[in-house]
Structure 1
Amino acid sequence: MSLEKPIGPEAILEKKKKYIMPCLAHFYKEPRQFVKGDMQFLYDSEGRKYLDMFAGVSVMNCGHCNPEILENVVKQVQSLQHVCNIYLTENFVNLAEKLAEVTPGDLQKTFFCSTGTEANEGAMLLASIYTGNDEFISLRNGLHGRTKLTMSVTGIQMWRTDPHPCGGIHFAPNAYCYRCPLGKKYPECDLACANAVEDLIKYSTSGHPAAMIAEPIQGNAGIVTPPKGYFKRVKEILEKYNALLIIDEVQTGFARTGKMFAIENFDVVPDIMTMAKALGNGAPISAFTASAKIADTYTKPGASTLGGNPVSSIAGLSVINYIQKHNLMQNAQERGQQLYDGLVELQKKHPIIGDIRGLGLMRGAEFVHADKSPAPEELDMVLEEMKDRGFIIGKNGIERNVMAFQPPLVVTEEDINSVLNALDDVLTKLIK
């Protein structure tokens, strides 16, 4: 039901405080109520227009209220919404077939659910079923979900809210070259962070872990992007110990990095891959996909009440078709390079930008003081001012000091120029 007159930010905050659990925070000192989306733009309750450079944290890759996708979704809603996947419908098998076409290597069989957390939990279950083992390796600063197991493999303290996390989980140093956890420099390090995975297996586990789970680019860690050879080395180590590689593409998938999936930038085929967010372009759908050899060991009963429902599945099919039809991978590459080049130029003028990283249209600019210490307060000031000028930009990083650019992949050259020019003005005004 749409409201004739929005209640406004203050009334929402009052209701939020009264009826929503306090674990859910919000961006900005003066937040806005968003009431409308149109491709790369958002509109608030006062009619102000914003260029969305965060896309709901990599969800709206094809743009808000994309008419080509919505047309298919509306038709489906009007005919059949839900019967559960224990009954036969067509959309979810067609989407699974499409995913087998666009995922790398021999990934073939899919299980659908509703959230990225569920997909990661399911992938880890499948790894345990296939290997017969139950220990897991994860990366420091990774984020994989909010259920007990996925929270336990999350390596960010602020998101590990469970006072009693699961055991049998071991954390390897992440490939954070700007702040190397091993105190080394690339490439002289010879990928020491990857080699540490073998030490972890040999000295901290039983020697038989089920799998390692990792994001190809760590989103919430601050768009932490490993060197090119990192995942190849890791995969070689895991294969030596008969452990699987689970790649979490929840935030990086569906053309965001200039490839359909980010792991393709590293020339590695995972054993199991998870996806969510952009797959539905706002519709709740997620999936984990594996090779037939691995997937076919999952034989005991399993279902997801809403997983792969007809509406979400047609949204997923429409997303992949739209990406291919409109060359969004190419646009992500070109506009991502434009954004990166522009940030490099801003870095020369504004030394508070200490590092720029990422691939395609998943870019991070880390804000630091002169001594390289994190500068989260300054970032907050900049983001607030950018919001007031009509630009929504994300924030992440362990110290919440990384400006995150993850816009809809339909952004234009003009859009990128406008956000870079505004950012230059704001940095000049606020950062002395």
Structure 2
Amino acid sequence: MNNYIGPQEIIKKKNDFLYPCTHHFYKNPPQIVRGEMQYLFDSEGKKYLDCFAGVSVMNCGHCNPEILNAAIKQMKTLQHTTTIYLTEPIVNLAEKLANILPGDLKHSFFCCTGSEANEGALLLARLYTGKKNFIALENGLHGRTYLTMSTTAIPMWRADPNLDTSVTFVPNTHAKNKALHEAAEESLNAVEQLIKTKGAENFAAFIAEPIQGNGGIITPPKWYFKKLKELLQKHNILLIIDEIQTGFARTGKMFAIENYDVVPDIITVAKALGNGMPIAAFCTNDKIAASFTKPSASTLGGNPVSSATAIAVLDYIEKNNLKERAEKLGAKLKEGLLNLKNKYPIVKNVRGIGLMLGAELLKENGDPASEEVDFILEQLKDKGVLLGKNGLERNVLAFQPPLVITEYDVDFLLEKLDKVLSLL
């Protein structure tokens, strides 16, 4: 006999004590009470294969013993002092990050959330360039603080009706009824035209996710970011790459932008860095870092516990070859999804890299199959699989599991998805 209050009581308390903006998945949601690597368990003892990882957070698995032990050891020793006092974990983490960040990126400013990291990156770009405005991609999501919400182009996440006007959006690399390379060329042309029209002297930075998560796993062609970086460099505009969802081995590389052979000027990280412990950072090179001289701090950012945890995360990724694992199992999952695409006409597109994949569902008339996605998620949940959804119309199945999944798990997922698609 357990003492869990159950899903309905949780929903009642949500309605009574949280804000109405706090939504949840499923018509009949379970109460999740326990996690064990790639699995979650509900209040009734039912086991689920987690294929969303808390939105790309639990890359190393739920309640990973090695990572938990490092966090608990630090908790028992020193939890918090803030950065005005000298502690070792924060500088050891910064050093470890410097050794794995792309190119010449070396300096880190630690905070607690992806929104904070992106806000800090945008501030840093203004401080370094002395310019105010930003360019962002349509379908992008960068946070819920004022400036990051202003750079977000997904209507459902733009809650503030009076957002900053210093942001101009350009098309991303996905357009209906257009080939990927064509849409990508149009995106670059739009950036170039914008710079000509409004003047390079007005733009501090361009911010983009290497793969747009919430936007629908929008994955640019391999050459896109290289051409974009060349264009921006020519006009002294910085490139900020938001790796909040894509970072830390998910795409078969430590950072997704490495798949594009590009070194950004500023990179932001969060989510998987802490494997459930809140920690984030914006990172840059010597030259740009030197422009941030006014006093600044994040009270809890990079505290000893989160830093020790993040070090354990990076150690675990390296020791267990999670980059190679994500690449191999991602290829297996993608092949399986493409087979299902050939079998079921409702699956119109499969995209992504490594274990960050999306399957876009469209009806026969070309409309987004949003209701069908909800049906699939509900049915999969009943069959022991928790899957995500994204896209502007919420019609993209999102596959972002913990990177510790096995070949058996991939087969299990594909088998259950096949059965559910056959019900449509």
TM-score (norm: length of structure 1): 0.96
Contact 1:195–1:233, Cα closer than 8 Å, also in 2: no
1:142 aligned to which of 135, 140, 143: 140
Residues of 2 paired with 1:86 and 1:332: CA distance?
A: 39
> Structure 1 residue 193: deviation in Å?
1.2
**For residue 327 of structure 1, what is the aligned residue in structure 2?**
321
User: Is 2:417 the counterpart of 1:423?
Assistant: yes
* Conserved 8 A contact 1:8-1:45: yes
Tell me the CA shift for residue 195 of structure 1.
2.4
Secondary structure of 2:295's partner? Answer: coil
Return the alpha-carbon distance in structure 1 between the equivalents of residues 13 and 49 of structure 2: 27
Q: CA deviation at 1:200?
A: 1.2
CA 1:140–1:307 in structure 2 vs 1: closer, same or farther (change >3 Å)? same
Contact 2:360–2:397, Cα closer than 8 Å, also in 1: yes
- Cα distance in 2 between the residues matched to 1:5 and 1:67: 25
Q: Look up the SS of the partner of 1:112 in the other structure.
A: strand
What residue number does 2:311 align with?
Answer: 317
Calculate the aligned-residue CA RMSD, in Å.
1.2
Segments of 5+ residues of structure 1 without an aligned counterpart are: none
**C-alpha distance after superposition, 1:197-219 (max 9, x if no partner):** 11111214564300000000000
> CA separation of 1:304/1:373 partners in 2, compared to 1, >3 Å: closer, same or farther?
same
Aligned to 1:26: 24
Residue aligning to 2:375: 381
Superposed, 1:26-425 pairs within 5 Å as 26-176=24-174, 179-180=175-176, 184-187=178-181, 191-204=185-198, 207-425=201-419
Give the 3 Å change call, closer, same or farther, for CA 189–411 of structure 1 in structure 2. closer
Say if 2:171 and 2:186, in contact at 8 Å, map to a contact too.
no
Q: Is the 8 A contact 2:131 2:201 kept in 1?
A: no
- Residue aligned with 2:117, SS: helix
Q: What secondary structure does 1:171 align onto?
A: strand
* Conserved? CA contact 1:195–1:234, under 8 Å: no
Equivalent residues of 2:200, 2:237 under 8 A apart: no
Q: 1:283 to 1:190 in 2, by over 3 A?
A: closer
Aligned partners of 2:171 and 2:334: how far apart in 1?
26
Instruction: Tell me the secondary structure at the aligned position of residue 123 of structure 1.
Output: helix
Q: Deviations over 1:128-185 (max 9, x none)?
A: 0000001000000100000111000000111111010001110010011xx35xx643
Deviates more, 1:196-205 or 1:308-317: 196-205
Structure 1 SS opposite 2:189: helix
Tell whether the 8 Å contact from 2:200 to 2:235 is kept in structure 1 after alignment: no
CA distance in 2, matches of 1:151, 1:364: 24
Give the Cα–Cα distance (whole angstroms) in 1 for the partners of residues 76 and 184 of structure 2.
Answer: 57
| Distance in structure 1 (CA, Å) of the matches to 2:297 and 2:182 | 48
Secondary structure, counterpart of 1:363 in structure 2: strand
Letter in 2 for 1:419: L
Name stretches of at least 5 consecutive residues in structure 2 with no aligned partner.
Answer: none
Aligned to 1:83, the other structure's residue is in SS state: coil
Q: 1:49-75 deviations in whole A, cap 9, x for unaligned?
A: 000000000000000000010111110
Question: What amino acid is aligned across from residue 315 of structure 2 in structure 1?
Answer: N
For the residues of structure 1 that align with 2:297 and 2:375, how far apart are their CA atoms?
46
Displacement, 1:186?
A: 4.0
Q: SS where residue 110 of structure 1 aligns?
A: strand
Structure 1 runs of 4+ with >6 Å offset: none
Task: Write the distance in 1 (CA, Å) between the matches of 2:203 and 2:314.
Answer: 34
- Farther off after superposition, 301-310 or 367-376: 367-376
Query: SS in structure 1 opposite 2:220?
Result: coil
Matched to 1:122, the amino acid is: G
Q: Name the SS of the counterpart of 1:345 in structure 2.
A: helix
- The size of the alignment, in residue pairs, is 424
Other structure's SS at 1:343 match: helix
Q: SS state of the match for residue 82, structure 2?
A: coil
Q: Distance in 2 between matches of 1:194 and 1:96?
A: 34
Identity of aligned residues (%): 60
Alpha-carbon distance in structure 1 between the residues aligned to 2:60 and 2:291: 35
Relative distance call for 1:186 and 1:362 in structure 2 (3 A) is closer
Partner of 1:270, secondary structure, is coil
Distance 2:150 2:210 in 1: 19
Q: In 2, are the aligned partners of 1:170 and 1:205 still within 8 Å (CA)?
A: no
Aligned residues of 2:322 and 2:403 also touching (Cα < 8 A): yes
Q: Structure 2: which amino acid aligns with 1:120?
A: N
- Is residue 17 of structure 1 aligned with residue 15 of structure 2? yes
Q: What SS is found at the alignment partner of 1:210?
A: strand
